[in-house]
Amino acid sequence: MRILLIAGGWSNEREVSLSGAANIAKALVERGHSVIPCDPALEFDALLEKAAGCDAAFINLHGAPGEDGLIQALLDQAGCPYQGAGPAASLLALHKAAAKQLFRRAGLLTPDWEFLPTPPPADWRPALPYPLFAKADTGGSSLALARVENDQGLHDALRDIFATGKAVLLETAVNGLEVTCGVLGEEALPPILIQPLEGGYFDYNSKYRPGGAWELCPAPLPDAITRRLMALALKAHKVLGIEGYSRADFIVPEDGHPSLLEINTLPGMTATSLIPQEAAAVGLGFGELIERLLELGKRPRR
């Protein structure tokens, strides 16, 4: 097949996107496909024309465009199938404050939050107790993320995040184990326990620097908690109307009740990414995973 590989883009996650695309291109070529690259930052106006000449697209974008559903909407117009979520589910998952509303409405446990679309007044104080996390509402790859312990730390974090032009989500810090769980098709994959080697949480360096964290797959957790995580990941996937695949991030506190942080509709595909590790745990190599995602993407959408 002729596969349009869409990667790069103009978000602050551009380099992560390009790194993963190199792995994907190699796997596609090894499996006999032709790869036609497209970087929206350089050739956005050529996207529809390129898509019209391809059998399918593989989207490896992070942030906007891509995770916001814009690229998916254009591909739908071009009649070009692609892996993963459609436009609406992509947009809902990218906006953490919107997704958390839907999670809570569906009975999924998620930390309390406060949404700040614009910088608050000088005399403003958060409704949430410290410590808390400040993050870009539409951010990913653990960029624009900070754990804050006091007013000064929060002030600094808000200044830095608002400087990127993004809204802010404040979230109660929940103590516990960091665990992520993917979904492929209609089944959840084995969860991964993440233990950062430096710092107290899974930040950008821990995520993408080789050796930055221990990632144990399958997670060495009691069977009951593993089953619960897998069921919750699949439920969150369906609540947002996601298709194909996704990855849900959780904190598992001492009481064993997982708290859902967010869900990613275009999980990373770098050499150290999590979904490929989970797929390998059920016997799917990287190339087989890419092929499976393309097969799922060619199915009629709901």
Burial class of residue 175 in the structure, from the number of CB atoms within 10 Å of its CB (0-12 exposed, 13-18 middle, 19+ buried): exposed
Out of 208, 243, 244, 278, which one is annotated catalytic?
A: 208
Out of 39, 68, 249, 278, which one is annotated catalytic?
A: 249
Q: How far apart are CA 219 and CA 24, in angstroms?
A: 26
Out of 60, 264, 273, 297, which one is annotated catalytic?
A: 264
CB 298, CB 81: distance < 8 Å: yes
**Cα-Cα-Cα-Cα dihedral sign, residues 35, 36, 41, 47:** negative
Out of 13, 178, 215, 243, which one is annotated catalytic?
A: 13
Out of 69, 140, 247, 259, which one is annotated catalytic?
A: 247
Annotated active-site residue 249? The verdict is yes
Out of 68, 137, 262, 278, which one is annotated catalytic?
A: 262
Out of 268, 273, 278, 297, which one is annotated catalytic?
A: 268
CB 141, CB 207: distance < 8 Å: yes
Q: DSSP string covering 114-149, please? A: EEESSPPPTT---SSPSSEEEEETT--TT-SEEEE-
Annotated active-site residue 262? The verdict is yes
Q: How far apart are CA 53 and CA 170, in angstroms?
A: 44
Strand duo 213-216 + 192-196: pairing:
antiparallel
Annotated active-site residue 264? The verdict is yes
Annotated active-site residue 13? The verdict is yes
Active-site residue list: 13, 141, 208, 247, 249, 262, 264, 268
